[in-house]
Amino acid sequence: MEAPDGRSTILAAGLNLRASRERLGLTMRDVENATLRIAERHGNDEFIVSPSRLSDIETKGLVPSIYRVYSLAAVYHR
């Protein structure tokens, strides 16, 4: 049964992101470097996903900003 606040769904989404990253053979540092290039292209540092932020998204249920969602989708080809 899911918690009323949707926490288990958010945690599952983070685990799915981690699985996608691992399937692609990407390290957290690889993701950071790719998102740095996206941020440079758009002239906006909000697109950057640091390794610590990615870890929090994957394991603690942190909900990323729309900028980071865009970056992750681009890096993971989703």
What's residue 20's pLDDT? 97
Residue 7: inside a domain, yes or no?
no
Query: Is residue 10 domain-resident?
Result: no
Task: Tell me what pLDDT residue 52 has.
Answer: 98
The DSSP string of 3-39 is: -TT-HHHHHHHHHHHHHHHHHTT--HHHHHHHHHHHH
**Verdict on whether the full-model pTM lies above 0.85:** yes
- Domain containing 59 equals 27-78
Q: What is the mean pLDDT of the chain?
A: 93
Condensed to tens digits (0 to 9), the pLDDT of residues 23-60 reads 999 999 999 999 999 999 999 999 999 999 999 999 99
> How many distinct structural domains can be found in the chain?
1
The predicted pLDDT at position 1 comes to 41
Q: Is residue 6 part of a domain?
A: no
Asked whether residue 18 is assigned to any structural domain, the reply reads no
Inside any domain, residue 61? yes
Residue 1 covered by a domain: no
Within-domain flag for 4: no
Could you tell me if 39 and 32 are in contact, meaning their C-beta atoms sit under 8 angstroms apart?
Answer: no
**40 in a structural domain:** yes
